[in-house]
Structure 1
């Protein structure tokens, strides 16, 4: 019998596979969940989908907003303008 953490990991893995997400992406999006549990759920769902000839159902959650990494890329870099406006001193 699975404990709650294992069952949660398997559910996450199955959902990742069903939505067409790569296993590595699933691991990186869920760092606190045991990789073995995620893999077990992903593998079970993969076998089920192949047996039933099911297609991937893309997640609509990806359309909800930008990835936090995208925000970092989109934000303009901030430079310290006070240091840039001072002339360089000899010897520094």
Structure 2
């Protein structure tokens, strides 16, 4: 029972930190991980921040519907996962 409870807790914790649509970390996770990275890693190695904006995303949602917008976000997340380091806070 203890093992099942620990596995369930781990899954629930991961779900609470993950965006359902993109499977990327959610806003809360991003800020917690960012704080951790800034606190421990910035002293020993260079650190970069990259901000991305999906231009005209609202227009896409308005014109083609939220289903199309969801697909764009899923595709973006998949590409981003493939091109960034496994150490990146994405």
Asked if TM exceeds 0.5, the reply is: no
Q: Relative contact order: is structure 1 or structure 2 higher (C-alpha 8 Å, sep ≥ 6)? A: 2
* TM-score, length-scaled by structure 1: 0.28
TM-score (norm 2): 0.29
